Amino acid sequence: MIRNGHGEAGSAKRPGPRARRAVRVWCDGCYDMVHYGHSNQLRQARAMGDHLIVGVHTDEEIAKHKGPPVFTQEERYKMVQAIKWVDEVVPAAPYVTTLETLDKYNCDFCVHGNDITLTVDGRDTYEEVKQAGRYRECKRTQGVSTTDLVGRMLLVTKAHHSSQEMSSEYREYADSFGKCPGGRNPWTGVSQFLQTSQKIIQFASGKEPQPGETVIYVAGAFDLFHIGHVDFLEKVYGLAERPYVIAGLHFDQEVNHYKGKNYPIMNLHERTLSVLACRYVSEVVIGAPYSVTAELLDHFKVDLVCHGKTEVVPDKDGSDPYEEPKRRGIFCQVDSGNDLTTDLIVQRIIKNRLEYEARNQKKEAKELAFQEAMRRQEAQPERESDCDF
């Protein structure tokens, strides 16, 4: 049962004899370091049809065309499957999207953002399906990209989640990285994400707990929402027959207080959308108190409070943030079986810093070259029109 999404798994009614045929939509990509931009693309794609199939590329293919991925292919497959708008995942999808692939999975068309994906030799990976008229485009989510997130981690600065304390180093990075002479690069440009109520509505289910459902509360930073979080939430979701999982997200300042360094990598608004996109989460408390209070438990009528195996840092007054649920006998520690943390992800990036920087520069160079080629192509008819016939 998927409460936070377009419907429960397998709940779609079979079309009657006279009903229209279900529209099958194809998306594909690397989906490395999955963020709310990826989720928003898949949300838009799902809205264009009835069944969304997502192809995910292998580590080998990504390394060949873009550079080393941060997450393994198995991690990326499971991460995409956890996005509530996805109906089916196809592992090891080809990097270049062809009509053969669409036909193999009975897809009517494929959907991609209004950015560009190029092969190692600079070709548009969607050229064939575009020419066949089986390509649709959705809006790219401004303000986030995998390249930007990697950049935030490499800079080791907390300025990315507070515009008021932006350092000169980060300002220089934000002003120059991913830009071209004409302004912000439409593919890798860095911009400040602006949260809106409409965006939250698009991601949220809008459903309240129903009689007979078990309300389960979890809390944390959920920074760089990753497969470790997914495994934990999946285990929590499986604790009840009819679960309603509420995730409490701490304020940026609170996260920075107990994690230090440059955390959180993503600000509260970004983290909110990332968690809302997960099929195991029903509701999100934006800016939840660090300590799970009696007022919070009573307000949401919480039946169970869960925490993973990560260290529980005492509140500022030295108290246990889970003291109240423990007193009520509703606290449960959950072992997800996955030791991955946001810290370990950052360590992966730092360890391979030179490779990731080279990947970003390679991607930028390819996109600028493609943009220049497009400008020349658009200018060609104008020159021909000046000729006398």
Domains 24-137 and 197-333 share a fold: yes
Domain boundaries, the chain: 24-137, 197-333
**135 token code pair:** 């390509």
Helical spans, DSSP H, in 284-352: 294-299, 323-328, 342-351
pLDDT score for 371: 65
Model confidence pTM above 0.75? yes
pLDDT tens digits, one per residue of 149-200: 887 887 754 555 544 444 454 344 333 333 333 333 332 333 356 778 888 9
Q: What gap in Å lies between CA 365 and CA 369, rounded to an integer?
A: 6
Nearest to 147 by CA among 116, 189, 185: 189
Residues paired with 25 in a beta bridge: 52, 109
pLDDT score for 172: 44
pLDDT score for 160: 53
pLDDT score for 370: 62
Q: How are strands ordered across the β-sheet holding 24-29? A: 88-91, 51-56, 24-29, 109-113, 135-138
pLDDT score for 159: 52
Residue ranges in the chain whose pLDDT is less than 70: 1-19, 156-193, 356-360, 362-367, 369-371, 373-374, 377, 380-389
CATH 1.10.3720.10 given to domain 24-137: no
pLDDT score for 121: 73
pLDDT score for 214: 98
CATH number of 197-333, picked from 3.40.50.620, 1.10.10.10, 1.20.1630.10, 3.40.50.2300: 3.40.50.620
**19 token code pair:** 């009903």
Cβ pair 173, 69 in contact under 8 A: no
What mean pLDDT, rounded, does the chain reach? 83
> ∠ CA 136-142-148 to the nearest 5 degrees?
115
DSSP of 31-84, one letter per residue? -TT--HHHHHHHHHHHHTSSEEEEEE--HHHHHHHT---SS-HHHHHHHHHTBT
pLDDT score for 97: 95
pLDDT score for 70: 87
